[in-house]
Chain A
Amino acid sequence: MTQPGDESIAQHVARLARFLVEEDLESVRIERPHESFEVGRTATERPAVTLVSPKAPLAQSEPRVERITADRVGIFHFSRPIPLEGERIDGDRELGYVEQLGIRNAVRSRGPGYVRAILQRDGDLVDYGRPLFELDRD
């Protein structure tokens, strides 16, 4: 059950998480007189993508899961704002891009949905057909 004030805490955490990824930091800690937050990378293979959007729970009914894969070989980067797992994507949004020989090849959501999984880290080498995102389609 969500309590009053929880949403703002979740929003704080999400903001910190984005900051963490954008600045490529290991952890961020904010201390206030009566509370403190610390957001850090886990020791898993994909620490930067284990974030959960505060607003969007995963769909309860069985969603249609669609994988978005790389169609170029190159270095994968997240687009800004960095998509979060569980985040609602409206419309055809650029989620990331594959940088190849100095050219930015956009990776788009190709329609609305929830981000079920983010499968690559910023800076990963991805080859053709490599899964990048899983989206739950409405």
Chain B
Amino acid sequence: MFSKILIANRGEIALRINRACQELGVQTVAIYSQADRDSLHVRQANEAYCVGPGPAGRSYLDIANIVSTALATGCEAIHPGYGFLAENARFAEICADHGLVFIGPKPAVIAAMGDKATAKQVMKDAGVATTPGSGVLESLHQARDAAKKIGYPVLLKATAGGGGKGIRAVERPEDLERAFASSSAEAEASFKDGRLYLEKLIVAPRHVEVQVLADEFGTIVHLGERDCSIQKPSHQKLIEEAPAPNLGAKQREQLHAMAVRACRHVGYTNAGTLEFLVCAENVYFMEMNTRIQVEHPVTEMIYRIDLVREQIRVAAGERLGFTQDDLTARGHAIECRINAEDPSNNFAPEAGTLSRVVFAGGPGIRVDTHVHGGAVVPPYYDSLLAKLVAFGETREEAIARMGRALHETVIEGVHTTADFCAEVLRTPEFREGRYGVGFLPGSLSYAR
């Protein structure tokens, strides 16, 4: 086991990693920006060093300062958490070049799975279903043929795409010519590359993801699935639950098997998540996250496994302490993300001082947070304040506990998503588990 680890992150995940390390008897080095000088993760780590000013690009993303801190303090490994450098293959390579263990998969695997086109091809090679689509379209004529073959509705996408640029949904054949022209023009303007391809548009799918863990000795296990379909209009997750409700046993097993098969195909190690779109009987691979997820606690609650501890153990060269047969899910867990955002203003993020903070407690409630009364929410980072997790022996019990916990939660000083989450939980669609991506209560409902 390592004797000292640098935690290359902030907020609740930095605290989460610190807790796992302390329980393993591993010393911790925190890094922080000047804006986070008074943060809890700075106080709770064994050592803490400032790596830059507030903006993340000059602090939490400053690879040289982070690696230098790790080396100068005698760390043996770096845990990247999620976001920031967690899926940066170059960072993982630099760590290895300096004799530091990157707590995650190998750099080549991060690079392969980080590129969407490569990842889809890798998954196809592994026999995992991906969204039906075309190759690069040379002409409108070719696009017409491809769309007819795939079946409407379709999505036109830029091959060099990102950030939603160049994407057009096409419902009918007669709309294709216009969409092709505008999509290509936008792609050309955005990426200097106007090439397009087509993909089947999956209407109102469910976002279901599978948690995997793999060690260096070839043991790969899944820890079930999570449903993350409750998302903000920006497609960022808001409420997650495990297991996914109303999923047939056969489809559930299919998802789990595909995830393990894909991991074995790419030689995956450490923790990871494969995201799928589920639409009726069809399952399509979407992307893989080669890191710990924000929503990992719901899996931990039903499997009673500390995923972060397992990440560290695997990175230290230890074997997973269990096989698939040892893993049995029990009960149901739901997570609500309490963000400093104003749901009535399109979830606009807010910064400021939290004048009062009271979190819920009691049976079956877990709160992963870094904030407290008087804490300052800086404007530079994501707006997550806390993850409120409720466990119940049944889904109904978990929903009831979450409702009670949201009611107990008081955060003053900024708007939060707490009341909005409570509103979602009260809808018949959520209570019956009949929701997909795009579902939000009342006026916020929208079609994807």
User: A residues near B, CB below 8 A?
Assistant: 72-75, 100-101, 125, 127-130
The stretch of B67-75, B173-181, B208-216 in contact with A is: B67-75
Known: A72-B64, A73-B68, A127-B49. 13 other contacts (CB 8 A): A73-B51, A73-B65, A73-B72, A74-B72, A100-B68, A101-B67, A101-B98, A125-B73, A127-B50, A128-B49, A128-B50, A128-B53, A128-B65
Residue of A nearest to B63 (CB): A101
21 A-B Cβ contacts within 8 A? A72-B64, A72-B65, A72-B68, A73-B50, A73-B68, A73-B69, A74-B72, A75-B72, A100-B65, A100-B68, A101-B67, A101-B68, A101-B71, A101-B98, A125-B73, A127-B49, A127-B51, A128-B50, A128-B53, A128-B65, A129-B50
Closest to A129 in B: B50
Q: How far is the CA of A128 from the CA of B59 in the complex (A)?
A: 9
- Contact residues in B for A100 (Cβ distance below 8 Å): 64-65, 68
CB distance from A120 to the nearest CB of B (A): 13
Contact of B52 with A by CB under 8 A: yes
Chain A residues near B72 (CB, 8 Å)? 73-75, 125
Expressed in whole angstroms, the Cα–Cα distance for A45 and B104 within the complex equals: 40
**Main DSSP-derived SS at the A contact region:** loop
Q: B residues within 8 A CB of A128?
A: 34, 49-53, 59, 65
Using A73-B72, A74-B72, A75-B72 as known contacts, say yes or no to A129 and B34 having CB atoms under 8 A apart: yes
Contact B34 A73 (CB under 8 A): no
Pick the 7 closest A-B CB pairs, nearest first. A127-B49, A73-B65, A128-B50, A100-B68, A127-B50, A125-B72, A73-B68
CA of A127 to CA of B49, assembled, Å: 6
Q: How far is the CA of A128 from the CA of B36 in the complex (A)?
A: 13
Q: How far is the CB of B43 from chain A (nearest CB, A)?
A: 16
Nearest Cβ in chain B — how far from A100, in angstroms? 5
> Please, which residues of chain A bring their CB within 8 A of the CB of B59?
128
Q: With CB as the reference atom, state the residue of chain B lying closest to A71.
A: B52
How long is the Cα–Cα vector from A128 to B58 in the complex, in angstroms?
10
The CA-CA distance from A24 to B53 in the complex, in Å, is 34
The answer to whether B69 touches A127 (Cβ under 8 A) is yes
- B50: which A residues are within 8 A, CB to CB? 73, 127-130
A73 and B49 within 8 A (CB): yes
Closest to A105 in B: B64
- Report the bound CA distance from A129 to B65 in whole Å: 12
- On chain A, the residues within 8 Å of B66 by CB distance are 73
Contacts of B51 in A (CB 8 A): 73, 127-128
Measured between beta carbons, the chain B residues less than 8 angstroms from A101 are 64, 67-68, 71, 98
Contact with A along B59-92 (1 / 0, CB 8 A): 1000011111101110000000000000000000
- Please give, as numbers and ranges, the residues of chain B lying within 8 Å of A129 by CB-CB distance: 34, 50
For chain B residues 100-123, which have a beta carbon within 8 Å of chain A? none
Please report the C-alpha to C-alpha distance between residue A128 and residue B66 in the assembled complex, in whole angstroms.
11
Cα(A72)–Cα(B64), bound, Å: 8
Taking CB atoms, residues of chain B closer than 8 Å to A73 are 49-51, 64-66, 68-69, 72
Complex Cα distance, B68 from A101, in Å, reads: 6
What is the distance, in angstroms, from A60's C-beta to the closest C-beta of chain B?
35
A101 CA to B67 CA in the complex, in Å? 8
Residues in B26-47 with C-beta less than 8 Å from chain A? 34
Cα distance A125–B52 in the bound complex, in angstroms: 15
Interface centre among A73, A75, A100 (most CB of B within 10 A): A73
A129 to B49, CA, bound (A): 10
Which of A72, A75, A127, A130 has most chain B Cβ within 10 Å?
A: A127
A129 to B58, CA, bound (A): 12
What is the chain B residue whose CB lies nearest that of A100? B68
Q: Which residues of B contact A75 (CB under 8 A)?
A: 72
When chains A and B are docked, how far (Å) is the Cα of A73 from the Cα of B49? 8
Across-interface contacts of B64 in A (CB, < 8 A): 72-73, 100-101
| Cα-based distance from A129 to B34 in the complex (angstroms) | 8
Find chain A residues with CB under 8 A from B67 CB.
101
A129–B64 Cα distance when bound, in Å, is 15
Q: What's the Cα separation between A6 and B66 when bound, in Å?
A: 49
Q: How far is the CB of A104 from chain B (nearest CB, A)?
A: 13
Q: Residue of A at shortest CB range from B34?
A: A129
Residues of B near A125 (CB, < 8 A) are 49, 72-73
> With A and B bound together, what is the CA distance between A72 and B50 in angstroms?
10
Interface centre among A74, A128, A130 (most CB of B within 10 A): A128
Q: How far is the CA of A68 from the CA of B53 in the complex (A)?
A: 16
* A129–B50 CA distance with the chains assembled, in angstroms: 7
Which of B52, B53, B68, B69 has the most chain A CB atoms closer than 10 A to its own CB?
B68
A72 to B58 CA separation, bound complex (whole angstroms): 11
Cα-based distance from A130 to B59 in the complex (angstroms): 14
Contacts of B53 in A (CB 8 A): 128
Complex Cα gap A128–B55 (Å): 13
**Closest Cβ neighbor of A124 among chain B residues:** B72
Query: How far, in whole Å, are A74 and B66 apart by their CA atoms in the complex?
Result: 10
Q: How far is the CB of A20 from chain B (nearest CB, A)?
A: 25
Q: What is the bound-complex CA distance between A100 and B49, given in angstroms? A: 14
Instruction: State in angstroms the CA–CA spacing of A130 and B53 once bound together.
Output: 12
